[in-house]
A and B are shown apart, each in its own frame.
Chain A
Amino acid sequence: MAVVRSLPRHARLTLWSRLNMPRTFTVKPLGWSVLAASVALLAIFGINRAVDDVRVASKPIVAAVFPNTGAAAVKPPQRVQFVLVAPEAKKVAVVGDFNGWDASHASYQAQHRGGGVWAVTAPVPIGHHRYSFVVDDSVWVTDPMAPRVADNDYGVANSAIVVEEQK
Chain B
Amino acid sequence: MRVAAVAGVAISLVVARVSSAQDARLAARLDKPTLVAVNAIVDSARISKLPTEPLVDKALEGAAKGSEGANIVSAVHQLSLRMGSAKRVLGPASTPDEIKAAASAIGVGVSDRDLARLRAAAGKHQVTLPLAVLTDLIDRNVPIETATNLVLQLARAGVKDPDLALFQRNVRADIDRGADPTVAATTRARGLVLRGAPSKPAE
Is A79 an interface residue, CB under 8 A from the partner?
no
> Which residues of chain B from 51 to 91 have any CB-CB distance to chain A below 8 Å in the complex?
53-54, 57-58, 60-65, 67, 71, 74-75, 78-79
| Number of A residues with CB within 8 Å of any CB on chain B | 37
Name the CB-closest residue of B to A138: B66
* Complex contacts, B202 vs chain A, CB 8 Å: none
Within 8 Å of chain A (Cβ to Cβ): is B174?
no
User: How far does the alpha carbon of A157 sit from the alpha carbon of B135 in the complex, in Å?
Assistant: 12
Interface of B is mostly: helix
Distance between A95 CB and nearest chain B CB, rounded to angstroms:
6
A117 contacts B by Cβ under 8 Å: no
Please pick, from B62, B96, B135, the residue contacting A154 in the complex, using a CB distance under 8 A.
Answer: B62
- B136 CB contact (under 8 Å) in A31, A95, A147: A147
Contact yes or no, A140 B14, CB < 8 A: no
> Chain B contacts of A149 at CB under 8 A?
104, 132, 135-136, 139
> Is B108 engaged at the interface, CB distance under 8 Å to the other chain?
yes
Q: Does A136 contact B (CB under 8 A)?
A: no
Closest to B162 in A: A164
Pair A150/B61 contact, Cβ less than 8 Å: no
Which among B18, B57, B61, B161 is the interface contact of A164 at CB below 8 angstroms? B161
Residues of B within 8 A of A38 (CB): 7, 10-11, 13-14
Give the B-binding residues of A (Cβ under 8 A). 28, 31-32, 34-35, 38-39, 41-42, 45-46, 49, 95, 97, 100-103, 127-128, 130, 140, 144-145, 147-150, 152-154, 156-158, 160, 162, 164
18 additional A-B residue pairs with CB within 8 Å, beyond A150-B108, A153-B62, A153-B67 = A34-B7, A41-B10, A46-B17, A97-B54, A100-B25, A100-B60, A101-B61, A128-B98, A128-B100, A144-B172, A149-B104, A150-B135, A153-B74, A153-B75, A153-B79, A154-B65, A160-B104, A162-B129
